[in-house]
Amino acid sequence: MMRNKWTALFTIALASAQQVGTNKTPATSDTPTFTVSQQLVIETVLVKDKSGNPVEGLTAKDFTITEDATPQTIKFFEYQKLEEMIENAEPLPPIAAPKYFEKLPHTQIAGEVPGKTQYKDRRLLALYFDMTAMPVPDQIRALSAAQKFIKTQMTRADLLAIMQFAGGAVQVAQDFTDDRERLLGIIQAMIVGDGEGFDETTNDASSSDTGAAFGQDDGEFNIFNTDRQLSALQTAAKMLGHLNEKKALLYFASGLQLNGQDNQAQLRATVNAAIRAGVSFWPIDSRGLVASAPLGDATKGSPGGMGMYTGGSAMAAAGNFARSQDTLWTMAADTGGKALLDNNDLAAGIVKAQKSVSSYYIIGYYTSNEALNGKFRRIKISLNNGLSASVDYRQGYYAGKVFAKFTAADKERQLEDALMLGDPVTELTIAMEVDYFQLNRAEYFVPLIVKIPGSELALARKGGAEHTLIDFIGEVKDDFGTTIQNVRDKVDIKLSDTTAAELSKRPIQYDTGFTLLPGRYMIKFLARDAETGRIGTYQTKFVVPNLNKEDKRVPISSVVLSSQRVDLKDAIYNAVKDKDKAEITNPLVQDGQKLIPSVTRVFSKTKDMFVYLQAYEPTAATVQPLVAFVTFYRGQTKTFETPPLPVTEGLSNKLKTVPLKFSLSLSKIPPGEYNCQVTVLDPTGQKAAFWQAPIMLVP
């Protein structure tokens, strides 16, 4: 009897085994239970003969599958037979007044019900419209292409889902269905212009001369836009990962350009999520075939400067367009899809994805490696018995990651492993700012400021008071991949009843600093909530310029915008290794107070805004007088400007460092988005320097 009871328990546990092939991480629970779980890996395998036709009639015995060179036992095997030709019924008649269908009330793709085969022998195509990445004309073109496909090119084997990213969330407008009338009604009901307005901006030789003040670089305008778009795409891939069948996601967007300060870890996380979920990306550039004039069409103002005569403007415009397509091509290539670029027939991209999903086999096995370490596992599938055919399948996957239930030594090792993983962990939201200030002729102090939303952290009771413990680890590498600097820190923040209640509304801010030489660097930084084990990753490239070679403009440091200046002893939400040393080295620490940079650049009208930067005059015999002022622009209209601040004294060092400080009252400025520009003038040397960044004012 005891034997039978143990057997029954083991069977129940296996019934709830986790599907690694769809990247479903085992859930954690505080309730102690006894379970036996295994990780189910699902592979979709296309087998074709020399003529490109699917090979049918194979069984599980005809396949050999290994994971990291270890043989695996096939436990699940199924053949999906799909129509290979477009044999659609008569096209739907034109709809004079399309019937309106409400969008689905839920925001998830429905998973498969055990025992039912509703998706057997069906082709799953998800139409994903990134409304934030398309202007109105491109949205109309993308929706029209979807309508054309549904009316004339959809087959009996096709099931379509409609998803869109708008309003800051991924919306499932329609789950998988073959009801063409409903699909057309949903598309007709989609609002053109919804979510539009997050388009990319540039500031180079191709930019229009609008008459507004010159800005050094407004690439920071899009720091978070691309991350949001990629994170939303990652969410959509995870939704589709609940289905075992092969899935193709048609991504409609007007390009997707990664900027120098975007979180590179998010692109990797998005691609890896699609690979784990068995989803292939098929990006479609909704701009179609673009043949613009060298200096732009009639919708764009003429560029200014010498670039319009030397060809610099045309080259910059062409380069920006190519970069916006590079990311689309990369996502497709890394997930097994293909990008449709420079083609006015957008429906052809859907047809390509449709034809790529031919009849295939579904193979499932319980991996013999149960370690949830997040490492890549390579899969190899081959045919037995001398069968000769091409075999197409996913070449591997990243294992799940669980960092919560470990000993102290295990947690330390796992955090280091997470830093080296090719699959970044993006469970926590992280915002980062990297600045630079010149220390001497050779070295620069690079302060690193990281913000984490307090609402994403868990509180624990320790010693009668609530606290939150955060682990930090990071490294800075040069262009050759050599680690130049690293950081490993731990912050245990004890909270009173008042500060604990405020945690959900206030971010946790961590800062550290490095001493670097001029050059190009890559920083990868991880933060982990020690209570839950959730990890966030931020990865970006940055440049420390050689200001000694700056002779055409006034050499200036980074510009720091802030709304908070606190005493070091009261900085509950901040971490500093050595406060005494920080006050000497860190220019943001002065007179026992620290200036807290606003990483997200969102400011309240009820608080003053502080602006701090440094100018350098190393070649001057004495400190030359400088004039600086801060200006707010809304579009091309100047809405606010400080009186000119004359500075005649600097620090007594070899660089002749001149600190520039502003304190701005925001109470009389209307809420909204502005461009904040800092201008530094050297009347004696007839030189100037400009810096510009977007800010948001809230009530």
What pLDDT sits at residue 208?
A: 45
Which tens digit of pLDDT belongs to each residue from 576-631?
444 444 445 788 887 778 888 888 888 888 889 999 999 998 877 777 889 999 99
| Highest mean pLDDT: which range of 124-138, 409-423, 569-583, 644-658 | 124-138
Indicate the pTM of the whole model. Answer: 0.60
Mean pLDDT of 471-499: 84
365-382 as b/e, with b when 16 or more CB fall inside 10 Å? Answer: bbbebeebbbbebebebe
Which tens digit of pLDDT belongs to each residue from 542-552?
999 999 888 88
Q: Are 488 and 512 in contact (CB under 8 A)?
A: no
Q: Are 625 and 686 in contact (CB under 8 A)?
A: no
What pLDDT sits at residue 212?
A: 34
What pLDDT sits at residue 312?
A: 63
Q: Which carries the bigger pLDDT value, residue 653 or residue 582?
A: 653
What pLDDT sits at residue 539?
A: 87
Which tens digit of pLDDT belongs to each residue from 259-286?
545 567 778 888 888 888 889 999 998 8
| CATH 2.60.40.3880 domain residues, the chain | 403-545
Which tens digit of pLDDT belongs to each residue from 229-243?
888 888 888 889 888
Considering only CA atoms, which of 221, 281, 275 is closest in space to residue 251? 281
- Residue 643 pLDDT level (bands cut at 50, 70, 90): very high
Q: Is the pLDDT of residue 249 over 90?
A: yes
Using DSSP bridges, classify how beta strands 123-130 and 158-166 pair: parallel, antiparallel or unpaired: parallel
What pLDDT sits at residue 262?
A: 55
- C-alpha dihedral over 600, 601, 604, 609, to 10 degrees? 140
What pLDDT sits at residue 520?
A: 92
What pLDDT sits at residue 420?
A: 77
105-109, 157-161, 273-277, 643-647: the lowest-pLDDT one = 105-109
Distance CA 554, CA 613 (A): 12
- C-alpha dihedral over 163, 166, 167, 171, to 10 degrees? 0
| CATH 2.60.40.770 domain residues, the chain | 553-564+592-699
Architecture of domain 403-545: Sandwich (2.60)
**Class of the CATH domain delimited by 123-358:** alpha beta
Q: Which carries the bigger pLDDT value, residue 534 or residue 663?
A: 663
What pLDDT sits at residue 504?
A: 66
Which tens digit of pLDDT belongs to each residue from 376-401?
889 999 999 888 888 988 888 888 76
What pLDDT sits at residue 81?
A: 87
DSSP state of 623: P
Q: Is the pLDDT of residue 256 over 90?
A: no
Q: Is the pLDDT of residue 165 over 80?
A: yes
Mean pLDDT of 534-538: 85
Q: Is the pLDDT of residue 374 over 80?
A: no
Distance CA 41, CA 362 (A): 10
Mean pLDDT of 105-128: 76
What would the two tokens of residue 338 be? Answer: 């293909």
Q: Is 640 exposed, middle or buried (0-12, 13-18, 19+ CB in 10 A)?
A: middle
What pLDDT sits at residue 205?
A: 43
What pLDDT sits at residue 99?
A: 57
What pLDDT sits at residue 371?
A: 80
Q: Is the pLDDT of residue 336 over 50?
A: yes
Distance CA 487, CA 164 (A): 40
| CATH 3.40.50.410 domain residues, the chain | 123-358
What would the two tokens of residue 595 be? Answer: 């200036």
7-11, 52-56, 381-385: the lowest-pLDDT one = 7-11
**Average pLDDT across the chain, whole number:** 77
What pLDDT sits at residue 21?
A: 47
Considering only CA atoms, which of 440, 517, 432, 430 is closest in space to residue 470? 430
Q: Is the pLDDT of residue 162 over 50?
A: yes
What pLDDT sits at residue 356?
A: 84
Element (H, E) at 144: helix 136-152
What pLDDT sits at residue 489?
A: 87
Q: Phi first, then psi: give them for residue 652, nearest 5 degrees.
A: -85, 70
Which tens digit of pLDDT belongs to each residue from 75-110?
888 888 887 554 444 444 554 445 555 555 456 787
Which tens digit of pLDDT belongs to each residue from 345-354?
898 889 888 8
First to last CA, the chain: 70
12-16, 127-131, 625-629: the lowest-pLDDT one = 12-16
553-564+592-699 maps to CATH 2.60.40.770: yes
Residues 6+ apart with CB under 8 A from 56: 79, 81, 359
* CA pseudo-torsion sign 365, 369, 373, 378: negative
> Is 488 in a helix, a strand, or coil?
strand
Alpha-helix residue ranges (DSSP H) falling in 287-389: 307-310, 312-335, 347-356
Residues 6+ apart with CB under 8 A from 589: 568, 582, 583, 595
- Residue 32 pLDDT level (bands cut at 50, 70, 90): low
Residues 6+ apart with CB under 8 A from 622: 656
- Residue 508 pLDDT level (bands cut at 50, 70, 90): confident
Distance CA 499, CA 466 (A): 10
